[in-house]
Amino acid sequence: MIELKQVSKRFLDNVVLDHVDFVVRQGETVALLGPSGVGKSVLLKHIIGLIKPDTGDVIVDGLSVPHLKRQELAELRRKIGYVFQNGALFDSDTVYENIRLGITDETCYSDDGYCADRVKECLRLVNLQPEVGNKYPAELSGGMRKRVGIARAIAGKPTYLLYDEPTSGLDPVNADVIDGLIERLQQELGVTSVVVSHDVRGSFRVADRVALLWQARIRAVGTPEEILQSKDPAVQQFLERDLEMAVIQAESAVPETTQHAPRTGGGAGGGVG
Amino acid sequence: MADVTAVLDLRRLVGRWSLRAAGHTGRFSFFVADMFRGLGEWRTYLPRTFEQAIAIGYGSLFIVLLIAGFAGGVTALQTGYQFTGAYPLYIAGGVISESVVLELGPVLTALILAGRIGARYAAELGTMRVTEQIDALESLGRSPMSHLILPRCLAGLITIPALVMFANLIGFLVGWYAAKQSLGITNADFEYGARYFFKSFDLWYSAIKAIFFAAAVTVIPCYIGFNTQQGGEGVGKATTQAVVSASVIVLLLDLILAQVLLK
């Protein structure tokens, strides 16, 4: 279980998180929505201990993350897979080496045979051919980089998966592929996931519950249906803005969207409309 | 009134500068302490250290030898210009060899490498910081010290003293050749002069300086690159800052070591 209790964080005069409470139960997928720059990624980095809160506590697996010692934090991080916004792949290493670094058990990491099998398995899970392992990140498309980032995050068989804007910067077709992948990984691996996004339809597709971060606070939490029915003006404003973006995207990518109708035609997406 | 404002501005400026300096000192101390803590993870950093050592050592050899050669040659010509007629010619052997070994070899090599290696390290690590690669490494429970910092710093500590010794040798040989050509000094006179002024401590002094300089041109750029902020512009700033800081520290260390070791 992941729990943020009254977490506050400010950078100079900018209050990013203001007494935020946020809970993710074991085995569920929670999407954290909010406009760009609102502090979603900052919240996610608190969970893995990359950022410490000014006040409040972050509890993962019963451990208080800000108070962990270096070694304890490293051990906790081995249970958490983090998918970075732009992949954050190591430029000078091949895709194989990148994914191998995700194998956090040192005994397994030292076993070349295990690593070869595990990397191949992870590439399969993210719908990539084994040959991609020989390529360098610079040779991959944006969508492939994201998928390699996901493969690296799952290589260590984590209990928790944190996705930081997994579909940002992707066209609707590739975004749909990534959403499908998150859904499938959730079903196959049964991990507890947090998906940070500003893409409403994608989030509604993959999440059991949705939270809206608005002006440094969690404004609304609930199932996608509950969020859709919310009368909160901030929630409605955010959902409407996303709908406008969806129309612009759909107009600029007509051939793709007609082939991938589920992205706009799903239950959640339909509800927004 | 204007005087009061000026004094307040100055106080604010000094205060801000002091806070920044104190902040850097604290962060740098933690950074160095983290490096020492990472020394236990030799399985991770040793293979990477050799890769880095080959990259920076082999890659820097040509430019270091070229600069050392020119320095030796110019020293010979200037010695001739200043000393001819006033002192016996064999003194040129001592002046050239001592200048190269005590000062020009280590300092010029360190300044060249502050630009070459320092800029490279700061830019590499800065880019890794702003593209979240360092965060990614930490998120995997792996230490950036043993994966990124220690290999770079240890590679510098291995290769830079070696490069300095090569630079000393080439500077000395080119200086000898240039002295023969320009001053007409004989091999015997040059050798006599060089031996007359040479002490075995001189080579140790050169090596000690090289080790200190190696630490400066690797650790400082790594620290600056590691703490880069604000995207591509931040990487540019970090790279410039790394080269300037490392160069200034090299010159400062040069002064301190001369004061401490040449008593």
**What CATH number does the domain containing A205 carry?**
3.40.50.300
Q: Which two tokens stand for residue B149?
A: 């910092």
Question: How many A×B Cβ pairs under 8 Å?
Answer: 52
Q: B132 vs chain A: nearest CA distance in angstroms?
A: 5
Question: Looking at residues A163-190, what average pLDDT do you find?
Answer: 84
Is residue A107 situated within a structural domain? no
Cβ-Cβ contacts under 8 Å, B132 against chain A: 84-86, 88
B-chain residue closest to A88, CA distance: B133
pTM above 0.90, yes or no: no
Q: B244 vs chain A: nearest CA distance in angstroms?
A: 27
Q: How confident is the model at residue A45 (pLDDT cuts 50, 70, 90)?
A: very high
Boundaries of domain holding A49: 2-79+159-272
Cβ-Cβ contacts under 8 Å, B128 against chain A: 90-91
> How distant is the alpha carbon of residue B201 from its chain centre?
21
Of B135, B138, B141, the CB nearest to A104: B141
Is residue A151 situated within a structural domain? no
Instruction: Check CB contact of B133 with chain A, cutoff 8 Å.
Output: yes
Question: Looking at residues A77-85, what average pLDDT do you find?
Answer: 91
Query: How many structural domains compose chain A?
Result: 1
Instruction: Check CB contact of B138 with chain A, cutoff 8 Å.
Output: yes
Contacts 24+ apart (CB under 8 A), A11-19: A15/A216, A16/A42, A16/A216, A17/A42, A17/A43, A17/A46, A17/A53, A17/A216, A17/A217, A18/A215, A18/A216, A18/A217, A19/A55, A19/A56, A19/A217
Q: What are phi and psi of A21, to 5 degrees?
A: -110, 135
Q: Do B141 and A78 touch (CB under 8 A)?
A: yes
Give the whole-number percent of chain A exceeding pLDDT 70.
88
Q: Which of A204-218, B24-38, B226-240, B243-257 has the highest mean pLDDT?
A: B243-257
Q: Do B132 and A85 touch (CB under 8 A)?
A: yes
Query: Across-strand partners of A57?
Result: A5
- Asked if B152 and B52 count as a contact pair (C-beta separation under 8 A), the reply is yes
Cβ-Cβ contacts under 8 Å, B47 against chain A: none
pLDDT value at residue A243: 58
In one-letter notation, the amino acid at residue B46 is L
In one-letter notation, the amino acid at residue A42 is V
How far, CA to CA in Å, does B202 sit from each of A252, B97, B98, B106?
72, 10, 8, 12
Question: Looking at residues A237-260, what average pLDDT do you find?
Answer: 56
Of A82, A90, A91, the CB nearest to B139: A82
pLDDT (tens digit, 9 = 90+) per residue, A196-214? 988 888 888 889 999 999 8
Is residue A138 situated within a structural domain? no
Is residue A113 situated within a structural domain? no
Instruction: Tell me how crowded residue A31 is: count the other CB atoms within 10 A of its CB.
Output: 26
Q: Which two tokens stand for residue B226?
A: 């590691």
Closest to B164 in 3D by CA, of B227, B84, B77, B250: B250
Cβ-Cβ contacts under 8 Å, B131 against chain A: 86, 88
pLDDT value at residue A245: 55
B-chain residue closest to A89, CA distance: B133
Helices (H), ranges, chain A: 40-47, 70-77, 95-101, 106-110, 112-125, 142-155, 172-189, 200-206, 224-228, 233-252, 254-259, 262-265, 267-272
Is residue A173 situated within a structural domain? yes
Maximum Cα interatomic distance, chain A, rounded to a whole number of Å: 56
Question: Looking at residues B192-201, what average pLDDT do you find?
Answer: 90
Burial class (CB in 10 A: 0-12, 13-18, 19+), A3: middle
ipTM of the complex: 0.80
Cβ-Cβ contacts under 8 Å, A75 against chain B: 141
Instruction: Check CB contact of B132 with chain A, cutoff 8 Å.
Output: yes
pLDDT greater than 60 at residue A263: no
- Asked if A40 and A20 count as a contact pair (C-beta separation under 8 A), the reply is no
